[in-house]
């Protein structure tokens, strides 16, 4: 029974984390192109972009920054603002 409660709490935390990223990506204006997003990311030091996909008003970008650290970003598709970084 105790394990079930722990799993329920862990699952709730995971859902809350995903919801906050989606809430921040309202896509209130026109969607920026992949080229525009890549340009903004490059200007911010994200130099090796390996994947860029659009879903639920956010772009998800994966790759490496200028110091060689791996990144995963959620980016608002209408503003180009980084919403979350992992």
CATH code for the domain of 69: 3.10.450.40
Give the chain's mean pLDDT: 79
* Structural domains in the chain (count): 1
Residue 10 is part of which domain span? 2-85
Question: CA 37, CA 13: separation in Å to the nearest integer?
Answer: 29
Q: Taking residues 72-82, what's their average pLDDT?
A: 93
DSSP notation for 72-86 = EEEEETTT--EEEE-
Instruction: Residue 78: name the closest of 31, 41, 11 by CA.
Output: 31
Question: What kind and span of H or E run contains 4?
Answer: helix 2-24
CA-CA distance, 18 to 34, in Å (whole number)? 22
In tens, the pLDDT along 23-57 reads 567 767 899 999 999 999 999 999 899 999 998 88
Total-model pTM: 0.68
């Amino acid at each position: 029974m105790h394990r079930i409660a722990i799993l329920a709490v862990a699952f709730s935390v995971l859902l809350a984390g995903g919801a906050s990223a989606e809430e921040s990506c309202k896509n209130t204006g026109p969607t920026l192109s992949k080229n525009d997003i890549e340009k903004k990311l490059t200007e911010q030091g994200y130099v090796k972009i390996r994947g860029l996909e659009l879903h639920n008003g956010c772009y998800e970008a994966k790759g490496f920054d200028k110091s060689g650290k791996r990144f995963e970003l959620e980016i608002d598709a209408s503003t180009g603002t980084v919403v979350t970084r992992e």
